[in-house]
């Protein structure tokens, strides 16, 4: 062989060797990465090649399904039962537009691709059973979800209800909502429905219960009350405070405006009953920013890792504001912001004698044959306040419902505690205020099976008629009644 031919042979040999190395690198080192890339169409085809498992609520009711499709690479598409009511729980699974929330987070279980289902897949190869997805069993109660959804009516807002004893989420509603079935496929009709939904001004795709924050207004006063009691700023909830009238924000000549009468030197109990801004602003200043931050964080504020498993947006209590900002934040204004879930957590901790349980909405994951492959165990998250101080705030919240601004949350024969809130927002507070209500109800055994937070962004009511007690309390009442009825 002459010299030029040897060189060509050597060069070709090196090319073949490089090709073999590259092929093996792709097959074995990058195989998983390539097989799971969104750009890999085979992944989506496989994802919808079999019927997905179902998302199930209490009582064994499936709120999802699958249906065969024609004229598409995707064999099955997702269907939803009462889609708009359950969308804040399920999210969506669309052949064309991906997936969100439980549909996304539990996709491997639902498609049957989870490693924990390997045994089921292996047995199926011998028995001839088709591959099937597992199921996601939630903590949601259908009667409670419906009560919250129906009670909100056509109002824009959200509801979050929790079992304080375990942290189980019982209801999660966001309005206006959407029907995930309308864009579950990949046809032109699905695309049209998606574009209209995505571009809508009313933010139907936003889960307001978990992923929208609002100034909590006077509902935050229960956090300030907890901070005052825990840090010794108040020891007797019925003793007069030294609150002047008017009360000027620290370091300013700006008076804190009260919308209630009798706030001068009002006791903590009376101040919560009629919602005195001055008393809680003064107490926030007495406790101090750092201790206020500490208490708020024990309730869950400033935590960007609250997973239900859907991650909730962090609720905020400013760590760097000045004294005047802290006084305003102590009444739920200034930079303070909270999700409805967060305010339900605050209420749950108080109702559960100071113990905050971590919120969750997935009770268990099951194989296609319904064998349990994972079960959630309730977890304590923190102790924001002592049992004694929690019971003092319970007394105060019962007083709000029995004799104060929360009368529309009363349930005959049941102990109910609550707190109203009307949160101002916008430049110079020019926008329509948000209406809040937080509450809990006691069962016959003295425990509290439900804590609920309701926020209403907008309604047909005039600005002067917007209040937590007027708009949001009846929604909370309906939710609590549904829980109590289910328990009975």
d(CA 144, CA 167): 16
d(CA 215, CA 252): 22
The residue written with tokens 């949160």 in the block is 423
* Residue 141, helix vs strand vs coil: coil
d(CA 110, CA 90): 12
- What is the DSSP annotation of 330-381? TTT-TT-BB-HHHHHHHHHHHHTTTPEEPPB-EEEEE-TT--EEEE----EE
* Residue 179, helix vs strand vs coil: coil
Q: Which two tokens stand for residue 292?
A: 């206020």
Instruction: Say if CB 199 and CB 380 are below 8 A apart.
Output: no
Instruction: Say if CB 454 and CB 472 are below 8 A apart.
Output: yes
* Active site positions, annotated: 218
Residue 376 to residues 104, 358, 365, 366, Cα–Cα distance (Å): 19, 11, 9, 12
Instruction: Say if CB 256 and CB 327 are below 8 A apart.
Output: yes
First-to-final CA distance of the chain: 95
The residue written with tokens 């279980």 in the block is 109
Residue 80 to residues 55, 85, 134, 139, 368, Cα–Cα distance (Å): 10, 10, 17, 18, 19
> What element of type H or E holds 273?
helix 268-274
């Amino acid at each position: 062989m002459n010299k030029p031919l040897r060189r060509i042979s050597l060069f070709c040999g090196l090319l073949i060797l490089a090709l073999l190395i590259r092929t093996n690198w792709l097959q074995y080192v990058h195989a998983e990465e390539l097989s799971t890339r969104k750009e890999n169409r085979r992944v989506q085809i496989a994802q919808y090649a079999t019927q997905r498992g179902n998302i199930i609520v209490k009582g064994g009711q499936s709120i999802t399904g699958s249906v065969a499709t024609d004229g598409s690479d995707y064999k099955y598409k997702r269907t939803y039962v009462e889609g708009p009511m359950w969308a804040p729980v399920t999210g969506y699974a669309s052949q064309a537009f991906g997936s969100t929330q439980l549909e996304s987070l539990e996709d491997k279980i639902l498609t049957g691709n989870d490693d924990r289902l390997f045994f089921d897949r292996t047995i199926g190869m011998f028995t001839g059973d088709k591959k099937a997805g597992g199921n996601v069993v939630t903590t949601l109660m259908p009667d409670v979800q419906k009560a919250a959804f129906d009670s909100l009516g056509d109002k824009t807002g959200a509801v979050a209800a929790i079992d304080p004893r375990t942290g189980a989420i019982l209801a999660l509603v966001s309005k206006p909502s959407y029907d995930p079935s309308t864009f579950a496929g990949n046809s032109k009709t699905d695309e049209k429905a998606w574009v209209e939904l995505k571009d809508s001004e009313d933010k139907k795709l936003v889960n307001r219960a978990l992923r929208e924050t609002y100034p909590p207004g006077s509902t935050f006063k229960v956090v300030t009350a907890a901070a005052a009691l825990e840090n010794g700023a108040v020891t007797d909830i019925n003793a007069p405070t030294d609150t002047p009238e008017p009360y000027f924000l620290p370091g300013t000549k700006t008076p804190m405006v009260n919308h209630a009468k009798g706030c001068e030197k009002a006791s903590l109990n009376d101040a919560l009953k009629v919602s005195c801004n001055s008393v809680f602003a003064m107490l926030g200043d007495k406790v101090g920013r750092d201790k206020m931050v500490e208490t708020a964080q024990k309730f869950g504020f400033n935590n960007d890792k609250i997973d239900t498993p859907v991650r909730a947006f962090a609720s905020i209590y400013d760590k760097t504001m000045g004294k005047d900002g802290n006084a305003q934040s102590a009444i739920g204004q200034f930079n303070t912001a909270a999700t409805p879930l967060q305010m339900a957590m605050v209420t749950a901790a108080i109702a559960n004698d100071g113990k905050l349980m971590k919120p969750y909405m997935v009770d268990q994951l099951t194989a296609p044959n319904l064998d349990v492959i994972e079960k959630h165990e309730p977890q304590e998250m923190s102790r924001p306040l002592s049992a004694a101080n929690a019971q003092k705030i319970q007394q105060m919240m019962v007083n709000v419902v029995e004799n104060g601004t929360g009368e529309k949350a009363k349930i005959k024969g049941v102990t109910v505690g609550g707190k109203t809130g009307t949160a101002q927002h916008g430049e110079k507070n020019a926008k329509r205020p948000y209406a809040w209500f937080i509450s809990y109800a006691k069962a016959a055994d003295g425990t509290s099976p439900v804590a609920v937070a309701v926020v209403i962004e907008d309604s047909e009511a005039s600005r002067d008629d917007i209040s937590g007690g007027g708009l949001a309390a009846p929604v909370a009442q309906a939710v609590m009644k549904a829980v109590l009825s289910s328990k009975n």
